[in-house]
Amino acid sequence: MPGLTIGDTIPNLEVDTTHGRMKLHDFVGDSWAIIFSHPGDFTPVCTTELGKMALQVEEFEKRGVKLLGVSCEDVRSHLVWIKDIEHFT
């Protein structure tokens, strides 16, 4: 089966994010990571999912888990979407 599944090591991609440019392995480090893959910004289910997870960031951090949302849109779109997520959360 192509693609990634639970427990796979994600490639060390260098990506542009809402927090600047980063390499995924540098972001994750020795932590666990939950990576959310979304088909596009502003979808209702994805907006709700990211908003609810964002409310729990501190609890995940206590357990050594980092959260990362990935979508095919550009960073500019993500920055606008963050405002939408905050509004509905």
| Residues designated as active site | 46
Q: How many CB atoms lie within 10 A of CB 87?
A: 9
Whole-angstrom distance, CA of residue 52 vs CA of residue 26: 25
Interacting residues of 21 by C-beta distance below 8 A, sequence separation 6+: 14, 15
Looking up tokens 């779109």 gives: 77
C-alpha 20/C-alpha 27 separation (Å) is 11
